[in-house]
Amino acid sequence: MTSRWKIALSTVGVALIAMVVTVVIAARQISLHARDWVQEGLTQYFKSDVELSSFNLSVYPSVRAQGEDLILHFQGRNDLPPLIAIKSFTVHARLLELLLDRHVQRVDLNGLEINIPPARSGDTGGRFNFHKAPKSFGTTHFDQIVSENAVLKILTSKPGKDPLEFDIAHLILHSTASDGELAFRATLTNPTPPGDILSTGKFGPWNADAPRLTPVSGTYTLDNANLGVFRGIGGTLSSRGEYKGVLERIEANGTTDTPDFQITRAEHPVDLKTTFHAVVDGTDGDTFLDPVEVHYMKTTLIARGTVEGTKGIPGKKITLDVIGNKARIEDLLLFAIKGPPTMTGPIQLTTKFVLVPGQQEILDRLSLNGSFDLPSAHFTSGRVQQKLDNLSKRGRGDAKEVAKDPQAVDSTDDVASSMKGNFQLGNDILRLSGLGFAVEGATVNLDGIYDLSAQTLDLHGNLEMEAKLSHATTGMKSFFLKAADPFFSKDGKGTVLPIKITGPVTQPKYGSDFHRKRESAKLG
């Protein structure tokens, strides 16, 4: 072997020995100072006081660190829950990758709880001395961070509000190309209605001065959510969507599909779909909906409003302004009555929708206050439609054209009727006021109630006809009624009769209500 090769091999050997010595020394230094470096790094990155109950490190054959009871108090604020609390953790890395590239293979977290502090004027964090800390953890590359059964809470300073809380059953994160940004895949348990949410997206970089302003974005899916947990409704809901923003304010766009949605009392399942844009207040979970579009059958409803919570009361109160300019009365009746719908036709409506939280059935907690307009309605019952057709003929004075058989189920005219009025729903009772019902030649004005539980009507009001009372019938009855015409006319014209509509909604009874008129006269 030439001297030149001997010199080269010696040089390589010395270099290898130097490298080994360096690694050994570095490993020893890491072992001696790792706990301090970890605490100082966490202090710098999260601007928090750090408590660490125990910490153990081994560097051979690879770096393995274990710790217990890690607690971070944001800016030393002991008046708040810890910013981060971890019962135990384990870190795995290769020594050279950790030293040269700040590269960590895997971190396992057990008992992770994150409490995002609320905004507070004067927050500075300036009392911390960070100049001795190593580089920010934001420059460390993580191949995988795994957490089971974590809890994320976004605290609020709003009085009377509970914090927004997420139970994250399974969470996997890894570093992206961006400094401090983490990609995530999370499985969340949705408590009500029960179901699993799968979400993927990006989180960070961490905003150390204002954690609530840390950016987050992603997509989600929710499947097989059983709406039957809400008493009074049924169906299996699925949802898809995307979201972006910061922790304290997240905007979301999505869709829902419930192919078998129903009000259980009515027992009419329909395929109900929605699209929505929502803004979630991350400080308390209140949601602002603008808009929500509801589609089923041939009906579309547009809603705008809020989903708000009250401190100490489980659940959320839903308050919506609902408009239906493209709706059908037969579709709406699918949620109100058993059996086939009794009417068909286009309807326009506006209503305030309020659903308070509670354990009672949906209809017992729901209140509506609005108005509707049915410009051209037809009754599905031939018997009822025949009565309306006959009413129109009598109202016009064409009594001779009235069908001879009152039980007839066919009608050659099939007169369309218009209807409008105001309604209020509460405690399972639908109260109707200013209910105007009109066919050619006659108008009915009613007030009263529709009992949704009993499915019965109790309406009272007046029938106004263009014709005089004697012209609304034929034969001897018409002759004798001429004497009564003045008593039932309005300003000397037409006829005004007190009437009532009572009984089951599927087979209502129509009749005169002279008793009510006499009672009114006594009170007057």
pLDDT at 186: 93
What's the number of domains the chain is made of?
Answer: 1
Please report whether residue 462 resides in a domain.
yes
Please report whether residue 396 resides in a domain.
yes
Q: Which 3 state secondary structure label does DSSP give 468?
A: coil
Tokens of 485: 């015409």
Residue 410 φ/ψ, nearest 5 degrees? -110, 155
Q: Quote the CA–CA distance of 330 and 376 in Å, as a whole number.
A: 12
Please report whether residue 267 resides in a domain.
no
Please report whether residue 402 resides in a domain.
yes
Please report whether residue 476 resides in a domain.
yes
Residue 520 φ/ψ, nearest 5 degrees? -65, -40
∠ CA 484-485-489, nearest 5°, is 125
pLDDT at 404: 59
Contact 82, 50 (CB under 8 A): no
CA 349 distance to own-chain centroid: 22
Smallest CA-to-CA distance from 457 within 466, 448, 446, 444 is with: 448
Q: Quote the CA–CA distance of 41 and 408 in Å, as a whole number.
A: 88
DSSP secondary structure letters along 495-510: EEEEEEEEEETTS-EE
Which H helix or E strand runs over 487? none
pLDDT at 216: 92
Per-residue burial over 159-184, b if 16 or more Cβ lie within 10 Å, else e, is eebbbbebebebbebebeeeebebbb
Burial class (CB in 10 A: 0-12, 13-18, 19+), 45: buried
pLDDT at 121: 54
Please report whether residue 65 resides in a domain.
no
Q: What is the pLDDT of residues 470-496, one digit of tens each?
A: 666 777 666 556 666 666 677 667 878
Please state the pTM of the whole predicted model: 0.78
pLDDT at 437: 82
Q: Quote the CA–CA distance of 368 and 212 in Å, as a whole number.
A: 37
Q: Quote the CA–CA distance of 50 and 410 in Å, as a whole number.
A: 84
pLDDT at 200: 95
Per-residue burial over 399-434, b if 16 or more Cβ lie within 10 Å, else e, is beebbeeeeeeebebebbbbbbbebbbeebebebee
| pLDDT-flagged residues of the chain (< 70) | 1-34, 120-138, 178, 382, 385, 388, 391-392, 394-395, 397, 399, 401, 403-416, 469-472, 476-488, 491-492, 514-524
Burial class (CB in 10 A: 0-12, 13-18, 19+), 489: middle
Q: What is the pLDDT of residues 39-65, one digit of tens each?
A: 888 888 888 889 989 888 887 778 888
Which H helix or E strand runs over 385? helix 382-396
Please report whether residue 505 resides in a domain.
yes
Other residues' Cβ atoms within 10 Å of the Cβ of residue 328: 19
Contacts of 53 (CB under 8 A, 6+ apart): 67, 68, 69, 70
Smallest CA-to-CA distance from 64 within 27, 22, 14, 23 is with: 27
Which residue segment(s) compose the domain that 408 sits in?
Answer: 381-523
Other residues' Cβ atoms within 10 Å of the Cβ of residue 206: 19
C-alpha distances (whole Å) from 159 to each of 68, 118, 119, 163 are 35, 12, 13, 11
DSSP E strands: which ranges in 452-491? 456-465
Q: Quote the CA–CA distance of 156 and 19 in Å, as a whole number.
A: 53
